[in-house]
Structure 1
Amino acid sequence: MTTTDAIASSTAPTLLQLLQTTVQTAGLTAVAEATATFSPQGVSVVLLLEESHVALHVWTEYCKATVDIHVCDYQQDNYAKAQKLAVLLASALTDSDRAQWHYLEITG
Structure 2
Amino acid sequence: MDGFENNRDITDFFEELLKREALTGAIEGIAKQIVGKGENSMTSRQREVFDSFIQAYEKNNHCDRCGNGNVTCLTDLIFIADYELCPMCDADREKYMRD
Please report the TM-score for the alignment, with normalisation by the length of structure 2: 0.32
Structure showing the higher helix proportion among its residues: 2
- Higher radius of gyration, 1 or 2: 2
Please report the TM-score for the alignment, with normalisation by the length of structure 1: 0.30
